[in-house]
Amino acid sequence: MDIQVRVWRQSGPDDKGRMVTYDVKDISPDASFLEMLDVLNEKLILDGDDPIAFDHDCREGICGMCGMMINGIAHGPERATTTCQLHMRHFKDGDVIDVEPWRAAPFPVIKDLVVNRGAFDKIIAAGGYITAPTGTAPEAHATPVPKPDADAAFEAATCIGCGACVAACPNGSSMLFTAAKVAHLGLMPQGQPERDTRVINMLETQDDLGFGGCTNMGECTSVCPKGIPLNLIGRLNSDYRKALRKR
């Protein structure tokens, strides 16, 4: 199939940036979206042009490194799919596809489609862990965990930290990301001792980093490649209120 892509090109943080149109010919419908960009880049290099910079690594939907706005939707038109797992069979011959980086103040553009998501690591460092220094652990079966809790914790823990939720949110809020971690750890008995400090510290840190507030639009969950549910934000707010009351 032949398509056109209009790609955001920005040489560095100080460049204003612009959309540039490229023709991509003879792409297999079985190619992934990133493979389509690989093919385009090979041509750009041989033509003496600057290839398009984009983040990617595992290309199997789990590392969370890739991510771009495709026709205005984070990770593109397929639900619960990362950009690397989006295949060209979901597009038609002759399509014109817009490709842009995540747009959020705490995720500044480094180059083209590459942004800095270091703010997510700072939210985790503020409390997204259970303090269990190596060697201190009791026997694993000492604390049974009810299966429904373990399963729900797992669902929340599947977040890959890609940042699509922030990119999709009109407020640039990281609430779904933070809520997923707070739920994962808060659902496990091991996570109880730090439950209150965790939620307070993570929320205050995300505010300090410049993420916006949540107004329950739900755009985050609709683009989340792992389908992290919106109700975890309600759970987060409930945990936060309880923690504040105790403070």
Partner 1 sequence: MTSFWNEGDPIVDEAAPDGPIETRWDRRKFAAKLVNPANRRKLSVIVVGTGLAGGSAAATLAEAGYKVRSYCYQDSPRRAHSIAAQGGINAAKNYRNDGDSIYRLFYDTVKGGDFRARESNVYRLAQVSVNIIDQCVAQGVPFAREYGGLLDNRSFGGTQVSRTFYARGQTGQQLLLGAYQAMERQIGLGNIEMNARHEMLELIIVDGKARGIVVRDMITGEISTDLADAVVLASGGYGNVFFLSTNAKGCNVTATWRAHRKGALFANPCYTQIHPTCIPESGTHQSKLTLMSESLRNDGRVWVPRGQGDNRPASNIPEEERDYYLERIYPSFGNLVPRDIASRAAKNVCDEGRGVGPGGLGVYLDFADAISRLGRAAVEAKYGNLFEMYQRITGEDPYETPMRIYPAVHYTMGGLWVDYDLQSTIPGLFVVGEANFSDHGANRLGASALMQGLADGYFVLPHTLANYLASGPYEKISEDHAEVVAARQQVEERITKLLSINGDRTVDSFHRELGHIMWEYCGMERTEEGLTKAIDLIRALRDEFWTRVKVPGTGEQLNQNLEKAGRVADFLELGELMCIDALHRAESAGGHFRAESQTPDGEALRHDDEYSYVGAWEFGGTGQAPTLHKEQLDFEYVHPSTRSYK
Least Å distance, CB 212 to partner 1, is 21
> What is the C-alpha to C-alpha distance for residues 220 and 230, in angstroms, rounded to an integer?
8
Nearer to partner 1, 20 or 125 (CB): 125
Least Å distance, CB 49 to partner 1, is 8
Both tokens assigned to 108: 């500044």
Nearer to partner 1, 130 or 243 (CB): 130
Both tokens assigned to 41: 């880049």
Least Å distance, CB 232 to partner 1, is 14
Contact partners, residue 52, CB within 8 Å, separation at least 6: 7, 9, 37, 40, 41, 44, 112, 113
Query: What's the distance, CA 239 to chain centroid?
Result: 23
Least Å distance, CB 143 to partner 1, is 8
CA distances from 184 to 113, 121, 149 (A): 30, 16, 9
* Neighbour-count burial of 108, counting CB atoms closer than 10 A to its CB (0-12 exposed, 13-18 middle, 19+ buried): middle
Least Å distance, CB 129 to partner 1, is 4
Nearer to partner 1, 133 or 170 (CB): 133
Nearer to partner 1, 151 or 215 (CB): 151
| Buried b / exposed e along 65-100 (16+ C-beta atoms within 10 A) | bbbbbbeebbbbebeebbbbbbbbeebeeeeebbbb
Nearer to partner 1, 116 or 216 (CB): 116
Least Å distance, CB 241 to partner 1, is 23
**SS3 assignment, position 70:** strand
Nearer to partner 1, 29 or 213 (CB): 29
